Each structure stands twice: as C-alpha cells, then as structure tokens.
Amino acid sequence: MSLRLHGVSKISNGETHIYPTDLELQKGTMNVLLGPTSSGKTSLMRLMAGLDKPDTGKVFWESEDVTKKRVQDRDIAMVYQQFVNYPSMTVYDNIASPLKLQKKSAAEIDAKVQEMAELLKLTSILDSKPNEISGGQQQRCAMARALAKDVGLVLMDEPLANLDYKLREELRLEIPRLFEASGSIFVYATTEPEEALLLGGNTATLWNGRVTQYGKAMDVYRNPVDETTARVYSDPPMNFVSVQKDGAVVHFPDGQSTKLNDELARLPNGEYRAGFRAHHLEMSDGQSDAIEFAAKLIVTELTGSDTYIHVNAMDERWIGLIPGLHTFEVGEVLKISLNPKNIFFFDKDEQLVASPNHEPEKSGV
C-alpha cells in the first residue's frame, strides 16, 4: 500500500498554494509535514485526501489512479486542529458513527468502540457529550473516530495546536503508539520541528507551497539540503552569516578566521553561507578552538530553564539558546562563541555543501 503524488499542484484564485510536487508515502509509515503557517501543509493534505482536486498531476493509491475519486469513496480518515465531533452525540456514538455508516454489525461496532476507547483512555466518558468533556478528551474522541474506521490513510492536520501545553505533551507521546497499532499511512502536519523529531518517521519540510526535502526525520534534521529547509527544521530558525573560504581557512566578516577540517578544505574557494543552530551559540569560555564574537543584545527571552538571546553580530541578527537563566542588559555587548564543528556550509545558491559531524545532540532543537 502506498500513496503517490505525481506532479500535483494547486492554484486557487490565481495564487499557487502547491507547486508541482512528487511524493511517495509507504504503508505503515509516519510522515510529518513540517512547515510554518500557510506553507501549504493543509493544502497538500487536502490533495492527498481528495477534498481538493489537483490542477495538474495525479494521485495514486497503490497503483490505482484516484485523482478523480470522490473523498467519500476513498479509504481515509482525518483529524483537524479544531475538535470536530458530532455535538449532539455521545462519545460512544461519535466513535461508532463511521462504523454505522459502513454498515457493520452491532457487536462488531461495540467491540471496535471499546477497543478505541481503551486505546485513547475514553472508557470512563463514553456516555458524555462533546461539550461536557475537556478539549484534550474532545480531540481524543475525534482521533478515536478517525482510527476506528481502520483506513489506509490517516491525516492529522495540526491536531494538537489548540491544546494546552500539558495535554499536547501527553497526546504527542501517544500518537506514535496509535500509529503503530493502526498500520496505516499516517500524515501529520505541524509547525514545530520538535514535534517532527519526537514523532520520528519521515519528515517532509514545506516552504511556500513546495516540499523542500523529504526523508527520515533525523537525516533531514542533520543534513538539510538547503537554507530554507534548515530554517524550517530549526526552532528558532537557523542563524546565518556569509563567509569567505580561502584554502583551509574561512574568514568571517569581522576579520576573524578559523581553520577547516580536511574534508571542508577540499571545497572550492569563494563565498559561502555558514549556518548554525541557536543552541550552538555559547557564552564564551575562552575555548581555544571556538570562534568568538562580540554581539550586541537586543532582546532576551527567559524560558523555565534556558535563555533565548537575540543579538546583532557581524551585521546579522542571530538567536542563541543559552542554558540557565541570565539577566542581561539590553544593549549590552556579550562575548559569545561558536564551535566551528557545528557549522553547516551552504553555497551561493543556498544548497548544502557540508554539514557538521554529529555528536549526540544537546538539549533544544
């Protein structure tokens, strides 16, 4: 079983929502569509589901062309950002509704509903109406409804975005479990790189209606093919600076330079873009092999255990993630450092030419 998009595109009101896209999703895989708001995640899902017809291209289910097949006749289920349940039905009837429409026997329906309720911890509230239960439970109910159908393709469009932080974490851990139990193709849209990494499986990064890269979550994270993908797959977005490579040395705009390893030294000389993630900026501790910058602080944001610093350095604006809570003065000039082994190099066309040799990741994404 597989879902294959072949050159599908979607234009609506003269605006291109999806540029021609090829994508093949295999049975039993978790596929995360990662991209910022209005990057085309929902549009792409609607094309996969058949809720929209593509303007060009074809959609194949296994080897069958389903481009023109109505959504009612397809083997899919969908979970939305809003909690969509039938308002006047109990949780039990909500989960049972698609099964009833499939004309299953009463015993079969009951067994399936109980199984789903068990899986999603809804057993104690089967007799409640959607407006009597919490947001998290409503979304569980919607998920149970989607999964009860036992379909080949389950689409989840930012299902956790409307939940509070605690519930989000809880459900986030359950989704891979549900996915394993189902054996379907899962497609999961999110704006958060962290979620994409937690769910694992494959990631497709989206930007302005294009799939910039598709592959195993870790591969995409470690080797983003271009600057856009790197930005999308980092939170906060990856920092960049233009550098000049000359032999085995790179020169930064402020005149500093650092030595490159042998592999990088072999790259042709010229201008490159150096990229690095926020948590690789550190407060300078005089390490010999790190590059040190003077950075003027613009904003600090405190989280529970870390500090985000927005700084100006070398005419670029960077965001750094520093462990611990710090109270810096706005306008203060900080000494921050970057280990060259954490730098990604992109060429003038923004394509990746070298990514760092990865050691186990530190905290943050």
Partner 1 sequence: MEKTVNQRAWLLVLPVLVLVAFSSIIPMMTVVNYSFQDSFGENIFFWVGLEWYQELLRSERLWDALGRQLLFSFIILMIEIPLGILVALSMPKKGISASICLVLMSLPLLIPYNVVGTIWQVFGRADIGLLGRILSDLGISYNYSQNAFDAWVTVIIMDVWHWTSLVALLAYAGLRSIPKPYYQAAMIDQASRWSVFRYIELPKMRGVLMIAILLRFMDSFMIYTEPFVLTGGGPGNATTFLSIDLVKMALGQFDLGPAAAFSLMYFLVILLISYVFYTVMITIDKDEAKQ
Q: Which residues bind partner 1 (CB under 8 A)?
A: 49, 51, 71-72, 76-78, 80-82, 84, 86-89, 97-98, 101-102, 130-132, 142, 145, 149
Name the residue nearer to partner 1 (CB basis): 102 or 261.
102
Q: In a 3-state reduction of DSSP, which class is residue 55?
A: coil
Whose CA is closest to 98, among 141, 61, 49, 47?
141
CA 8 to chain centre: 21
- State the nearest-atom distance from the C-beta of 101 to partner 1, in Å: 5
Tokens (6 digits) for 361: 């990741």
Whose CA is closest to 234, among 224, 219, 244?
224
Name the residue nearer to partner 1 (CB basis): 38 or 102.
102
- State the nearest-atom distance from the C-beta of 99 to partner 1, in Å: 10
- State the nearest-atom distance from the C-beta of 363 to partner 1, in Å: 35
Name the residue nearer to partner 1 (CB basis): 18 or 291.
18
Name the residue nearer to partner 1 (CB basis): 84 or 267.
84
Name the residue nearer to partner 1 (CB basis): 185 or 334.
185
- Tell me how far apart the alpha carbons of residues 70 and 74 are, in angstroms, rounded to a whole number: 7
Would residue 200 be called left, alpha or beta, if left means φ above 0 and alpha means ψ between -120 and 50 degrees? left
- State the nearest-atom distance from the C-beta of 189 to partner 1, in Å: 13
Place of tokens 């060259």: 340
Cβ 83 vs Cβ 107: under 8 Å? no
- State the nearest-atom distance from the C-beta of 70 to partner 1, in Å: 9
- State the nearest-atom distance from the C-beta of 82 to partner 1, in Å: 5
Say what angle helices 106-119 and 135-148 make with each other, to 10 degrees: 130
DSSP codes of every residue in 180-232: HHH-SEEEEEES-HHHHHHH-SEEEEEETTEEEEEEEHHHHHHS-SBHHHHHH
Name the residue nearer to partner 1 (CB basis): 86 or 299.
86
